[in-house]
Chains A and B, each alone.
Chain A
């Protein structure tokens, strides 16, 4: 088995023949901005995406602070408070959805890990990858323009200095007729940003599909791929098929505003509900673009940190594809109260229930993986276990929302807000953090501080539940969403929620400071700190420029027993006796 792994007793950090890695391979900002190296592209995505997360988070704290009091908190009048709040929640949503949560796991972890998990040198189309990165930055620039314009005008700048519009108060959903008729003109710049970001997503999807089809190594058939790759494949299929519909929706909305075509305007013969159909035809699959890679990360993290072969590999693989396909059939559940026919409502409700099934199958498989495993309470594992609980809450409440009679009662309330934050933040964010902590040693060659990482993760968990659990109750009692001012009797719910958001912020700050600290003072990481068997752990940490000197041969990706702990050197090493598997024979699948 040709793997790059240290022999037992060798030094902790085997220096590469040249002594350098992808970080030190070349110097200068141009070597980064024009790099074709998937690892560098992943790191650059990380910088931009984390910055967007910070901006979206600031907006979140702002809007929660506005909600501390039933009346206006920051502003002088109710109208001013409404206006401020509309802009704040819109930008929070748009920045978080389009700039953070949709790209985060595929663009950062996917770009970095996918090729090394395949034992490949790069993705199939490195230049396209770079173009995707530039598209992401282009879209970010449009949003920044809208944001900055809004802030400056609010601070007193004359609007004529902000050509093309400023601020955004339509909600991240851009519903017509407000977005075509009455919204502040920042809609145009924001829509252009969304269009460009869509390209980033589409081209990444094209790249990943081609890479997974064509660049698998010897021995890695489809059903010997790590599950993270199945997840990325399903995500790429959705990115490919759904994002173009967002592109055309954005174009039609732009044409409506700029050219006055009448496609969504009833006065001109159009139909505003058609917009909702177009928008949600993308945006529902989009939420599966968010959750599928997160599930892939969880598969890897739970099996590695339980030191146990994943349970039900085939089921998890098939479920990923089933989720990808079924996700296209349920968009109408965002429109139960829009006046569509009862038959449509019933069909969408039925499909919504069915799309929950593959997700539930995965949860059972993960829990079974942990059973009788050798669980280590590392930060990735704490995050993954939090995922299991929070995703269950989010998924189950999604089922409640899929039931028509209940949906009518809670639509447009905080119940919805709580549901999607449980799946987007409680699940995707926690999985993203799990993935970041899991692959951080590979990316930067440094171990993180487990104690502070765990403190941060638990703080985040407590803060998250404080913030959002109470919102289920507030929503059931009728508190509407997107309202800056509210009746007095909801005050206590909002105040608890706001305190929770501050705790969340503290937890997140701890987690990110911990990562930064590891870069400065972390212990040097071995090639395989967790003892996992996927090919990414068979190359050095951090990997050299072209990942593997010799193409590795793949075995069973979840064969944890192939590695044994070497006490003297305090690291995992390949077990010589077991590694007699010759390439081309059956892999050693574990049956417990």
Chain B
């Protein structure tokens, strides 16, 4: 045993200064980290790590898909109605863009493996361009929604009256609770009423928020439509409805000239399955905002991931331009590619679930 230990000590002594980073500089490839034995081990570890991380991303979006599933199961007619606000055209364009960018990314990985730097740089740039395109179209879609008062949560102006095309005053989404002061005293026995519900004009009061699960969609501060004459119609979506003409067919006014520009043509398509807003049960009308909350959170979180992916691609592009990648070392391209493919995959699920419901 002691000869073994002596031999080992001799080997250590022969290696010389064991702490100098230059110790085995000449024997290992430049990109091999010191704690790995071979480049293959390093690459395999990187792949395993990246796949493990992608699993966490799937779990995170999984929660949102779960919420989608729960709400769609509970309120199917709301989902079928509300999705008309989404532009299938732009969604499809985005899908094509992302799938193409995944293609250019995968091709880029192949070029990195073969050491074709010029093609790699071009393909990475194209992928990045795809990302930009996606975000621009997303911006267009979001702007359109905002224009038509289809926005997140408390900003969702569905059943507020508004005057003409300018947006009504938006209530603050998160006010401090006026019933509670700093010492923690609060009025006892008061039912739950969220600031959001109050902001949307719900009348605070005993049991209001609980009773039928909906706030009264009436803001006492704005004049009632009837008071301003029949031209002050409430807009509940793709159709203009005169609320004082009952809920039957005569209430529906569908002059094509009042369709705001920018909405997809299928918005006013009268498929026999489609429900008019007026046909929805009252308590479901408020739940449309739930669809859009889920829509914005899912597409928003996805958009953030697209931005992160674009950042990663830009970083890899910069390194590729410096000629860093070749057959011996292309792991960053491969791993960033994996991330980008996941981002694409999530969109491929989002698109039909949100845009293509019938």
Closest residue on chain B to residue A245 by CB atoms: B63
CA–CA, A180 and B202, complex, Å: 17
Report the bound CA distance from A476 to B12 in whole Å.
Answer: 65
Q: Does A220 contact B (CB under 8 A)?
A: no
Given contacts A2-B4, A124-B49, A249-B63, contact A270 B174 (CB under 8 A): no
Q: In the complex the two chains form, is A266's CB within 8 Å of B210's CB?
A: yes
Docked complex: A233-275 residues within 8 A CB-CB of B: 240-245, 247-249, 251-252, 255-263, 265-271, 274
> Contact check: which of A17, A267, A576 meets B193 at CB < 8 Å?
A267
Q: Which of A79, A169, A210 has the most CB of B within 10 A?
A: A210
Q: Restricting to B21-60, which residues have a CB under 8 Å from any CB of A?
A: 33-37, 41, 44-46, 48-49, 52-53, 55-60
Residue ID in chain A nearest B197 by CB atoms: A267
Q: Contact: A206 with B52, CB < 8 Å?
A: yes
Residue numbers in A under 8 Å from B1 (CB-CB): 7, 574, 576, 579
Known: A260-B152, A274-B67. A252 touches B297 (CB 8 A): yes
User: Is A40 in contact with chain B by the CB < 8 A criterion?
Assistant: no
Stretch at the interface among A417-425, A458-466, A486-494, A543-551: A543-551
B112 CB → nearest A CB, Å: 21
Contacts of B182 in A (CB 8 A): 153, 159
B70 proximal to A (CB < 8 A): yes
Most chain A C-beta atoms within 10 Å of own C-beta, residue among B8, B70, B194, B209: B194
> Of B124-132, B236-244, B285-293, B319-327, which stretch is located at the interface?
B285-293
The proximity string for A residues 530-551 relative to B, scoring 1 for CB distances below 8 Å and 0 otherwise, is 0000000000000011100111
With A7-B2, A125-B49, A546-B18 known as contacts, the answer to whether A269 contacts B290 (CB < 8 A) is yes
- Residue among B2, B60, B184 making CB contact with A83, cutoff 8 Å: B184
Once A262-B293, A268-B290 are accepted as A-B contacts, the answer to whether A80 and B183 lie under 8 Å apart by CB is yes
Identify A260's interface contact among B36, B58, B174, B185, CB under 8 A.
B174
User: In the assembled complex, which residues on chain B have CB atoms less than 8 Å from the CB atom of A83?
Assistant: 183-184
Within 8 A of A (CB), among B113-154: 152-154
Q: Is B294 an interface residue (CB 8 A)?
A: yes
Please determine whether A240 and B52 come into contact, CB atoms closer than 8 angstroms.
Answer: yes
Cross-chain contact A17 with B196 (CB below 8 angstroms): no
What residues on A are CB-neighbors of B46 within 8 Å?
125
The CB with the most chain A CB atoms within 10 A, among B1, B174, B180, B286, is that of: B1
Indicate if the CB atoms of A241 and B55 lie closer than 8 Å.
yes
B176, CB-defined interface residue at 8 Å: yes
Is B301's beta carbon under 8 Å from chain A?
yes
Cβ contact within 8 Å between B153 and A244? no
Among A123, A185, A244, which residue has its beta carbon within 8 angstroms of that of B176?
Answer: A185
Question: Cβ of A82 < 8 Å from any Cβ of B?
Answer: yes
Q: Give chain A interface residues in 189-224, CB to chain B under 8 Å.
A: 202, 205-207, 209-211, 213-215
Mask, A408-447, CB within 8 Å of B = 1, is 0000000000000000000000000000000000000000
A245 touches B12 (CB 8 A): no
Assuming the contacts A214-B48, A261-B153, asked whether A266 and B209 have C-beta atoms less than 8 A apart, the reply is yes
Contact with A along B179-222 (1 / 0, CB 8 A): 01011111000001111110100100000011001110000000
CA of A256 to CA of B71, assembled, Å: 16
Do B56 and A181 touch across chains, with their CB atoms under 8 A apart?
Answer: no
- Give complex CA distance A270, B291 in Å: 10
The answer on a CB contact under 8 Å between B8 and A550 is: yes
A79-B183, A177-B194, A247-B60 known; A549 vs B2 contact (CB < 8 Å):
no
Cβ–Cβ < 8 Å partners of A262 in chain B: 153, 196, 287, 289-290, 293
Residue total for A at the interface (Cβ-Cβ under 8 A) = 81
Which listed residue (A7, A182, A252, A549) contacts B67, Cβ 8 A?
A: A252
**Complexed CA–CA distance, A76 and B37 (Å):** 67
Verify if A121 is at the interface (C-beta below 8 Å from B).
Answer: yes
The residue among A80, A177, A261 with the most chain B CB atoms within 10 A of its own CB is A261
In the complex, chain B residues whose CB is within 8 Å of the CB of A245: 59-60, 62-63
Q: How far is the CB of B247 from chain A (nearest CB, A)?
A: 21
Instruction: Say how far B202's CB is from chain A's closest CB, in angstroms.
Output: 7
A1 to B7, CA, bound (A): 11
Bound Cα distance from A171 to B324, whole angstroms: 51
Residues from chain A with a CB closer than 8 A to the CB of B276 are none
Contact flags A386-410 to B (C-beta < 8 A → 1, else 0): 0000000000000000000000000
Taking the nearest CB of chain B, how far is it from the CB of A515, in angstroms? 28
Docked complex Cα distance between A242 and B60 (Å):
9
A258/B174 in contact, CB under 8 A: yes
Contacts A7-B5, A80-B183, A210-B48 known; A244 to B59 CB distance under 8 Å? yes
Asked if A550 and B52 sit within 8 Å, CB to CB, the answer is: no
CB-based contact A5/B48 at 8 Å: no
- The verdict on A18 contacting B70 (CB below 8 Å), with A182-B177, A240-B52, A267-B194 known, is no
Report the nearest A residue to B151, measured CB to CB.
Answer: A259
Collect the chain A residues with CB atoms within 8 Å of residue B202's CB. Answer: 267
Contact yes or no, A268 B52, CB < 8 A: no
A1-31: CB near B (< 8 Å → 1, else 0) gives: 1101101100000000110100001000000
Q: Are B63 and A278 in contact (CB under 8 A)?
A: yes
* In the bound complex, CA of A440 to CA of B28 (Å): 35
B193 near A128 with CB under 8 A, answer no
Q: Are A181 and B192 in contact (CB under 8 A)?
A: yes
Tell me the nearest residue of chain B to A247, going by C-beta. Answer: B60
Question: A274 with B49: in contact, given A214-B44, A268-B197 (CB under 8 Å)?
Answer: no
B225 touches A (CB below 8 Å):
no
Contacts of A240 in B (CB 8 A): 52, 55-56, 59
- What B residues does A551 contact at CB under 8 A? 37
CB distance from A429 to the nearest CB of B (A): 28
Assess the B45–A124 pair: CB atoms within 8 A.
yes
Given contacts A1-B4, A244-B56, contact A549 B12 (CB under 8 A): yes
Q: Name the one of B18, B70, B153 contacting A17, with C-beta atoms under 8 angstroms.
A: B18
Q: How far is the CA of A592 from the CA of B256 in the complex (A)?
A: 89
**B287's closest neighbor in chain A, by CB?**
A269
> B236 → chain A, closest Cβ, in Å?
16
Assuming A210-B52, A267-B192, A550-B11, what are 18 further A-B pairs, CB within 8 angstroms? Answer: A17-B13, A86-B184, A124-B45, A126-B35, A177-B194, A181-B177, A210-B45, A210-B49, A214-B41, A245-B62, A248-B63, A260-B194, A262-B290, A266-B209, A267-B209, A268-B153, A268-B196, A579-B1
A-contacting residues of B (Cβ < 8 Å)? 1-2, 4-5, 8, 11-13, 15, 17-19, 33-37, 41, 44-46, 48-49, 52-53, 55-64, 66-67, 70-71, 75, 152-155, 173-174, 176-177, 180, 182-186, 192-197, 199, 202, 209-210, 213-215, 286-287, 289-290, 293-294, 296-297, 301
- Minimum-distance CB pairs A-B, first 5: A83-B184, A260-B153, A260-B154, A261-B293, A269-B287
A-B contact pairs, 20 of them (CB 8 A): A2-B8, A17-B18, A153-B182, A182-B177, A206-B52, A209-B48, A214-B41, A240-B59, A241-B59, A245-B63, A247-B60, A252-B64, A255-B293, A256-B153, A260-B152, A260-B153, A261-B152, A262-B196, A262-B293, A268-B196
